[in-house]
Chains A and B, each alone.
Chain A
Amino acid sequence: MNKPVLISGGTLVDPSQNLNRPGRILILDGRVASIDPADGDLPAQYDTIEAGGCLVAPGLVDLGVELREPGFEEDETIFSGSQAALAGGYTSILATASTYPVIDSHAAVEFVRQKAAQASGAKIHVIGCLSKGQKGEQMAQLGLLSEAGAVAFSDAPRAIHSDALLKRALEYCRMLNRPIFDRPEIPEMAAGGVMHEGQVSLVLGLKGLPTEAEDLAVARDVRLAEATDGRLHVGPVSTMGAVDMLRRVKSRGVVVTASVCPHNLMQSDRLMRTYESRYKVHPPLRSPNHVATLCQAVKDKTIDAIQSGHMPRSREKMMNDLDESPFGVSSLETSFATAATALVRSGILDWVELIDRMSTRPAEIAGIDGGTLTVGSPADVVVIDPNAGWKVDPGKFQSTCISTPFEGMELIGRIQKTLVDGLVRYDAAIPV
């Protein structure tokens, strides 16, 4: 049994309860026992976490992380990925099936679950394959995958190419009450692209990823969601066209959700002028107009959630020329600070809104426990120093991947502690 914990001195920030005030929180048996307990209600013995000057919020929830195990352990393992998640303030992450073999069977789901349990990091939830072998042809055994514990289905990082397959899957998943995640892109239009197609790619001679490739896919996706009444999540999105489409269908009452990566909220394609592979991310860094539109869309909830977009790739793979280097970014450990710097420091969001987009709303979309500090919920908690500035040093990452577009940048919002089920699993004050 875990020892009771009292977190005191901080500001409780919990969008699920409209909390944004000083307060303390008592954790018993790994669950939130009470908010602002009276001194007389405290147990005889407990540990205290002094959170003066910090935000105390539900742990972050990530809707799409590549963990690369099994098959590509040189990029990331379940252990290193889950530790990186903790360091980034995440208490739950959804792992995509960019593995070999892909996660399209009960055994594959079980493998990840067992490895995750051994890792003792952030909670890892499995996104099962939408199609058998991730080939985009036949539906995977979605019902059995769901029984095995998959919380969502996707062929990410591949886009769902077949319109008919996506429609069938949306219809089928209604009975499972599981969402389908699509990374929206028309593959033929994006083939060979390495960066945003625009004025910069034109001058650099680099093959572009046209915005139309994403816009058209989002249009297809939301139309099928409307037609089937299925649970659809699109993301990460990166274009003004995608935002426009989402805004239109949401105004009509169509239930569809969307997410964005923090680097797409902060950086533009101009950085590709350096030709450095650390800026080769997918979806790509778009032009400044797209960046501004995405930030506003997060504000007005056209975009529901911010996901890290963590796509770890080994240093060796990233050392090649831009055509050969894979898309890759290590972002679990910078995600919160990037979003805070891009959105809160600039006045677009307040801290409650940011926690909503990175914790409460993602948990709702995924249909998992988390994203709340309500009494009785698992004590997945993050303690954040909101004003602490820090310089990104990938040499200190928990992740195996050190490729980040933020190397050397000053960001705000430092994760101080991450608690999973009431246990401190990450403490910035204790070097790993």
Chain B
Amino acid sequence: MASERNAPDLTGYTDSWQRRHLLDLESLSADEIRTLLDVAQELKEATEGCRRKLSLLSGKTCANLFFENSTRTRNSFSLAAKRLGADTVEFGSSGSSTAKGETFADTAKTIEAMGVDWVVTRHSTPGTPNLLARELTCCVINAGDGPHEHPTQGLLDLLTIRQHRGTLEGLTVALVGDIAHSRTARSNIWGLRKLGAHVIICGPPTLVSPRWQELGFEVAHHLDEILPRCDVLNLLRIQFERQNARPFPSVHEYAALYAMNAKRMRLAKDDILIMAPGPINRGVEITPEVADGPHSVILEQVTNGIAVRMSALYLLSVADDRFRNQA
């Protein structure tokens, strides 16, 4: 069992934090993102890499309301809440009332009525966290809404890069793969841009819309051409389950064009960081020697996931307490 220790003084961060929901990174300012990352770093150090427990949120309850399968994100949120002394309750879609015809919003309201302080939600439809934020009075955290956003995944990616490079400013970061269906990509792009990175979105045209250029991002379809410029490569999983029609001729062809392998590593900078949000399709987006190689920070991302989720739970809770005291 994790031992308890004194909590760090976080008032310098919480004084200016106003949000009670974390729905996306698009609407956050650079300062807000930095605050989330700074608090994550403090909490990570205070819990010694998430092995010790603090009592910052004791007495509070976090409900995980997951309507899509999840192992790592769900457990990561549970561990984050418990590391800060909160209780957790788990709700899944199988056997839930939505299967009996209850609306998503009514299910969430019922759970809220049980007395929870945060609802952490995952759903296959974009915008469901926004719906809950309108309908509920507790804090809402988006743990992935379809292909829209996965803000804590974006934050943990930012934190991992920052830990290695000290800053995001001036870095070139490529997001490679199934951008069309990736919530990780849609959180990363905003976070990276706001913290000063140059973002390249790379993949076949059926998965990378040219409209991203209209929004100011670089679009590329040939990985080998951009690889020498990249400081970070974030390899996104091909989400076969979200695709109506196969957007490329074969997995073999995709892997030949986009998989990060030992041969391609020779084109990359010596200090390139290799990231993947997981679960990874070994041999499709990334080969084992790269996934397990010295440039890979994939497992550090997982550890940082708990830190950023502690940060989000804590900051939202403090803002919520302030809001309720003022109301």
Contacts and interface: CB of A to CB of B under 8 A. Distances in A.
Interface of A: 191-192, 198-199, 202-206, 274-275, 316, 319-324
Contact of A322 (B125, B215, B244): B125
Contact of B211 (A191, A198, A321): A198
B211 A204 contact: no
A274 B130 contact: yes
Interface stretch (B44-52, B143-151, B291-299): B143-151
Q: Which 4 A-B residue pairings sit nearest by Cβ, starting from the closest?
A: A275-B127, A205-B148, A205-B147, A321-B125
B105 A205 contact: no
Contacts of A323: 124-125, 146
A275 B214 contact: no
Given A199-B214, A199-B215, A316 B103 contact: yes
B126 A275 contact: yes
Contacts of B105: 319-320
B209 interface: yes
B270 to A, nearest CB: 35
Interface string B114-131: 000000000111111011
B131 A321 contact: yes
Interface of B: 26, 103-106, 123-128, 130-131, 145-149, 183, 186, 209, 211-212, 214-215, 244
Contacts of B124: 323
B126 A204 contact: yes
Contacts of A191: 244
B123 A321 contact: yes
6 contacts: A202-B215, A319-B103, A320-B105, A321-B125, A321-B131, A324-B104
B116 to A, nearest CB: 20
Contacts of A320: 103-105
A321 B127 contact: yes
A274 B129 CA distance: 11
Contacts of A322: 125-128
A205 B103 contact: no
Nearest to B210: A202
A205 B146 contact: yes
A303 B4 CA distance: 71
Contact of B209 (A202, A206, A274, A316): A202
Contacts of A198: 211
A200 to B, nearest CB: 10
Contact of B212 (A192, A202, A204): A202
A205 B26 CA distance: 12
Residue among B123, B128, B131, B149 with most chain A CB within 10 A: B131
B186 A321 contact: no
B127 A204 contact: yes
B186 A205 contact: yes
B125 A324 contact: yes
A123 B127 CA distance: 40
Contacts of A204: 126-127, 148
Contacts of B186: 203, 205
Given A202-B211, A322-B127, A192 B244 contact: yes
A320 B102 CA distance: 9
Contacts of B103: 316, 319-320
Contacts of B145: 205
Nearest to B134: A276
A267 B26 CA distance: 23
Contacts of A324: 104, 125
Residue among A203, A205, A324 with most chain B CB within 10 A: A205
A202 B215 CA distance: 10
A320 B244 CA distance: 23
Contact of B126 (A192, A206, A274): A206
A89 B186 CA distance: 45
A210 to B, nearest CB: 11
A199 to B, nearest CB: 5
Contacts of B215: 199, 202-203
Nearest to B133: A275
A199 B211 CA distance: 6
Contacts of B146: 205-206, 323
Contacts of B212: 202
Contacts of B148: 204-206
Residue among B124, B145, B183, B215 with most chain A CB within 10 A: B145
Contacts of A274: 130
Contacts of A321: 104, 123, 125, 127-128, 131
A191 B124 CA distance: 16
Contacts of A203: 26, 186, 215
Residue among B103, B147, B214 with most chain A CB within 10 A: B103
A319 B109 CA distance: 12
A284 to B, nearest CB: 15
B130 A275 contact: yes
A322 B145 CA distance: 11
A384 B106 CA distance: 42
A206 B125 CA distance: 8
A198 B145 CA distance: 19
Contacts of A205: 126, 145-149, 183, 186
Contacts of B123: 321
Residue among A191, A199, A321 with most chain B CB within 10 A: A321
Contacts of B209: 202
Contacts of B125: 321-324
